[in-house]
């Protein structure tokens, strides 16, 4: 993987970069649609390509449960299994082990847990999670980390930071001692923890920076803390993390969160908000949110967004999609998802253009007036 920092805003810490892997170029800032189980909910690959998705997410925890690594290996990796030609990043499953699994028991060696699906017992270690991601064949793998709940005592959060650093060391070592399976290169990103404690975030970022990963993620945010803390936490981290490496803020967020975190130097984002909200009938536009189930759009025979070039906006009206939602037709969620993913990627693409044109603050203000 190669990362070039192309441009830094004159008036903020926002940056434009270019990440190159064997599955193509990712221009940052970038939004990465979430495809937990090997598909972005309700979207075909064509929908993703049309949304100009350059990279999507998969999840190690979920894919290890279903379909399981035997199938993924037989398929020749996740790219082939889902026939996706562009980049895939896989989360390590650390977050899911702590939020979703049951009987989770953490030890220095790794973490014991039972699948939320059927109680199957698993033991994830930093090395094992790399091995799984070798089988998945994701372009960007993530280390196993210990993700603190919110709120958490300082002492406990500190322990999680230290274990996360310890695991990151083991991860990068194991990464260096193993080979990709399918002929394309893989890399691994570390994950900074520390909850809402500035000193712990500093400690975590400094310790991880020393390990010389090719990229860094900021984890443990958007777990219940007040949303206004998100850019603050991000900034503490981006101020320390190496400038010449990509920064990925995990699980964030609303258009507002994303724009404010781009402003403090974050390059990569993922979140289920655009897909989940779409299925519930909420869509995002540069002019703000629209509730598609609402009476307000009952007789509105215009697209969700007049200037949007997504398939949905080029072909359907708000009144029609409202009718589908109110009739319980699944096509409603599909059409709204097509739009929201298109919009989120548009938002990061336009942010990038604004950064390059030294007008990022203005762009941010223009959009956030409506949010």
DSSP class of 146: -
Q: Distance between CA atoms of 337 and 330, rounded to whole angstroms? A: 11
**Does position 122 bind a second copy by CB under 8 A?**
no
Residue 33 CB, nearest approach to a second copy (Å)? 13
Q: Which residues contact 287 (CB under 8 A, 6 or more apart)?
A: 305, 370
Residue with tokens 């310790």: 207
Residue with tokens 């936490």: 233
Total Cβ atoms within 10 A of residue 122: 17
Q: Per-residue string for binding with a second copy, 45-84, x by CB under 8 A?
A: xx-------------------xx---x--xx-----xxx-
User: Is the backbone of residue 188 left (phi > 0), alpha (psi -120 to 50) or beta?
Assistant: beta
User: Is the backbone of residue 195 left (phi > 0), alpha (psi -120 to 50) or beta?
Assistant: left
Instruction: Provide the 3-class DSSP secondary structure of residue 20.
Output: strand
Q: Per-residue string for binding with a second copy, 11-50, x by CB under 8 A?
A: --------------------------xxx-xxxxxx----
Among candidate residues 204, 189, 93, 126, the one with its CA nearest the CA of residue 158: 204
- Judge whether 91 counts as a catalytic residue: yes
Q: Distance between CA atoms of 330 and 341, rounded to whole angstroms? A: 17
Pick between residue 38 and residue 253 the one whose CB is nearest to a second copy. 38
Q: Which two tokens stand for residue 177?
A: 């001692």
Pick between residue 242 and residue 294 the one whose CB is nearest to a second copy. 294
Pick between residue 46 and residue 176 the one whose CB is nearest to a second copy. 46
Among candidate residues 99, 91, 83, the one with its CA nearest the CA of residue 132: 91
Pick between residue 48 and residue 221 the one whose CB is nearest to a second copy. 48
Pick between residue 48 and residue 237 the one whose CB is nearest to a second copy. 48
Compute how many residues bind a second copy; rule: CB under 8 A: 36
Cβ pair 273, 36 in contact under 8 A: no
- Judge whether 270 counts as a catalytic residue: yes
Q: Please identify which residue in 329, 358, 362, 369 interacts with a second copy, judged by CB under 8 A.
A: 329
Span from 87-95, 96-104, 311-319, 353-361 in contact with a second copy (CB under 8 A): 311-319
Catalytic residue among 47, 91, 139, 145: 91
**Does position 317 bind a second copy by CB under 8 A?**
yes
Q: Distance between CA atoms of 98 and 94, rounded to whole angstroms? A: 7
Residue 49 CB, nearest approach to a second copy (Å)? 11
Residue 57 CB, nearest approach to a second copy (Å)? 15
* Bond before 47 cis per omega within 30 degrees: no
Pick between residue 107 and residue 298 the one whose CB is nearest to a second copy. 298
By annotation, the residues acting in catalysis are: 91, 270
Give contact residues for a second copy (rule: CB under 8 A).
37-39, 41-46, 66-67, 71, 74-75, 81-83, 298-299, 301, 311, 315-317, 319-320, 323-324, 326-327, 329-331, 333-335
């Amino acid at each position: 993987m190669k990362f070039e920092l192309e441009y830094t805003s004159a008036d903020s810490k926002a940056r434009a970069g270019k990440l190159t892997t064997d599955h193509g170029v990712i221009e940052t800032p970038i939004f990465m649609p979430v495809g937990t189980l090997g598909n972005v909910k309700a979207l075909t690959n064509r929908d993703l390509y049309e949304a100009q998705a350059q990279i999507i997410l998969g999840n190690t925890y979920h894919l290890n449960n279903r379909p399981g690594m035997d199938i993924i290996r037989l398929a020749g990796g996740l790219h082939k299994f889902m026939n996706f030609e562009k980049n895939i990043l896989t989360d390590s499953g650390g977050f899911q082990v702590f939020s979703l699994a049951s009987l989770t028991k953490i030890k220095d060696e790794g973490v014991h847990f039972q699948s939320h699906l059927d109680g199957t017992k698993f033991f994830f270690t930093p090395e094992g999670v790399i091995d799984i991601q070798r089988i998945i064949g994701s372009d960007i793998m993530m280390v196993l980390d210990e993700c603190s709940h919110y709120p958490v005592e300082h002492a406990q959060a500190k322990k999680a930071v230290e274990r996360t650093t310890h695991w990151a060391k083991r991860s990068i070592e194991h990464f260096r001692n193993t080979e990709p399976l399918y002929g394309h290169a893989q890399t691994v990103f570390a994950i900074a923890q520390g909850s809402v404690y500035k000193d712990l975030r500093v400690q975590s970022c400094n310790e991880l920076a020393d390990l010389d990963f090719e990229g860094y993620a900021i984890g443990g945010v958007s777990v219940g803390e007040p949303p206004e803390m998100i850019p603050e936490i991000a900034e503490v981290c981006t101020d320390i993390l190496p400038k010449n490496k990509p920064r990925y803020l995990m699980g964030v967020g609303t258009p507002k969160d994303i724009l404010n975190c781009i402003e403090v130097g974050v390059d990569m984002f993922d979140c289920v908000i655009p897909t989940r909200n779409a299925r519930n009938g909420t869509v995002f536009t540069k002019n703000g949110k629209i509730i598609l189930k609402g009476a307000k759009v009952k007789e509105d025979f215009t697209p969700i967004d007049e200037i949007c070039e997504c398939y949905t906006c080029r072909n359907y009206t708000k009144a029609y999609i409202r009718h589908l939602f109110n009739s319980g037709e699944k096509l409603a969620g599909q059409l709204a998802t097509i739009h929201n993913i298109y919009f989120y990627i548009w938002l990061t693409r336009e942010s990038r253009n604004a950064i390059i044109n030294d007008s990022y603050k203005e762009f941010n203000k223009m959009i956030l007036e409506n949010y």
